[in-house]
């Protein structure tokens, strides 16, 4: 039972590079979301999706794109990486909005 | 909008001490309230939850009561252990299709 799987676990990018953070869940959850975690800031919502084909912006969406072509996958794209995007990124999923959210192990991203 | 405020850390306690981590919230309607825990190097996992006023969530010796009159959901444990050392996040999910909103987290260190 894999749960929520994020890849990669660690990544270093140069300013201006693009990349995709992968997130997959095998629990048939409709609801998925991306957060970033920064010291003293807690978790801030980047984007979320309430089902395949439906996405919406969270608190800090600038510089990130998402898509939800399948129920299982919810990739996060950094279009042109900036040092301000250095952070730990977490993907989460839940069956319904009021049920427990399951988190991946996180991706630690450094932009130099 | 919805928001969560929790006490600043870090909190350092001796083993078997009593723990309280304060959490207050602002939300319209009747939100669901959660405590998540993050152990070092891991993603967040649900500790306990309460979905209506006066509900008490409990798990692993931790408790929190949903107090609508004081808009609070304080986390308590009667006797902490070294293994409880982690970061604790208070969170809420408002009415409708709204994502989880997190507090900034409180780091707890328990020393033997």
Rg (CA), chain B: 13
A25 or B42: which carries more pLDDT confidence?
A25
Average pLDDT over residues A5-18: 97
- Cβ contact B93–A41 (<8 Å): no
A74 in B contact zone (CB under 8 Å): no
3-state secondary structure of B103: coil
Tokens 């990544």 map to which residue? A11
Gap between the Cα atoms of B27 and B18, Å rounded: 29
What's the 3-state SS for B30-75? CCEEEEEEECCCCCEEEEEEECCCCCEEEECCEEEECECCCCECCE
Tokens 């609801």 map to which residue? A31
> Which of B43, B93, B97 is facing A90, going by the closest CB pair?
B43
- Cβ contact A4–B42 (<8 Å): no
Average pLDDT over residues A25-54: 93
- Count other Cβ atoms within 10 Å, centred on residue B70: 8
Q: What's the maximum distance between 2 C-alpha atoms anywhere in chain B?
A: 44
- Cβ contact A97–B89 (<8 Å): no
pLDDT at A1 over 70: no
Average pLDDT over residues A18-25: 97
Gap between the Cα atoms of A105 and A51, Å rounded: 22
Q: Which tokens sit at A83?
A: 């040092």
Q: DSSP letter at A65?
A: E
Measure Cα distances from B104 to A51, A78, A109 in Å.
Answer: 28, 24, 20
> Which of A35, A41, A98 is facing B32, going by the closest CB pair?
A98
Question: How many Cβ pairs closer than 8 A exist between chain A and B?
Answer: 47
Rounded to the nearest integer, the mean pLDDT of chain A is 94
Q: Which tokens sit at A49?
A: 């999706």
- Cβ contact B46–A98 (<8 Å): no
Number of helices (H), then strands (E), in chain A: 0, 11
Model pLDDT, residue B97: 64
Gap between the Cα atoms of B103 and B87, Å rounded: 11
Interface of A with B in 10-49 (CB under 8 A): 33, 35, 40-45, 48
Nearest to B9 by CA among B18, B20, B17: B20
**Looking at A18-22, A97-101, B61-65, B67-71, which range is the least confident one?**
A97-101
pLDDT at B17 over 90: yes
pLDDT band per the 50, 70, 90 thresholds, residue A100? confident
Q: Nearest chain B Cα to A47, which residue?
A: B99
Model pLDDT, residue A98: 63
Average pLDDT over residues A45-49: 95
CA distance A54 to chain B (A): 12
Q: Nearest chain A Cα to B40, which residue?
A: A105
B33: exposed, middle or buried (C-beta count within 10 Å: 0-12, 13-18, 19+)?
buried
């Amino acid at each position: 039972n894999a749960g929520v799987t994020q890849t990669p676990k660690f990544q270093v990018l140069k300013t201006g590079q693009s990349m995709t953070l992968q997130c997959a869940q095998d629990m048939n959850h409709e609801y998925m979301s991306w957060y970033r975690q920064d010291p003293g800031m807690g978790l801030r919502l980047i984007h979320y999706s309430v089902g395949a084909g439906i996405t919406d912006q969270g608190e800090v969406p600038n510089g990130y794109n998402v898509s939800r072509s399948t129920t299982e996958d919810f990739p996060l794209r950094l279009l042109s990486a900036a040092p301000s995007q250095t952070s730990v990124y977490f993907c989460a999923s839940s069956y319904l909005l009021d049920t427990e959210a399951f988190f991946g192990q996180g991706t630690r991203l450094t932009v130099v | 909008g919805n928001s969560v405020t929790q006490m600043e850390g870090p909190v350092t306690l001796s083993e078997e001490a009593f723990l309280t981590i304060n959490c207050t919230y602002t939300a319209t309607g009747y939100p669901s309230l959660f405590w998540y825990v993050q152990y070092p190097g891991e993603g967040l996992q649900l500790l306990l939850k309460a979905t209506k006023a006066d509900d008490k969530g409990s798990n692993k010796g931790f408790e929190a009561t949903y107090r609508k009159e004081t808009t609070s959901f304080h986390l308590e444990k009667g006797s902490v252990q070294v293994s409880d050392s982690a970061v604790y996040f208070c969170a809420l999910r408002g009415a409708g299709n709204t994502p989880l909103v997190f507090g900034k987290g409180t780091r707890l260190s328990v020393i033997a």
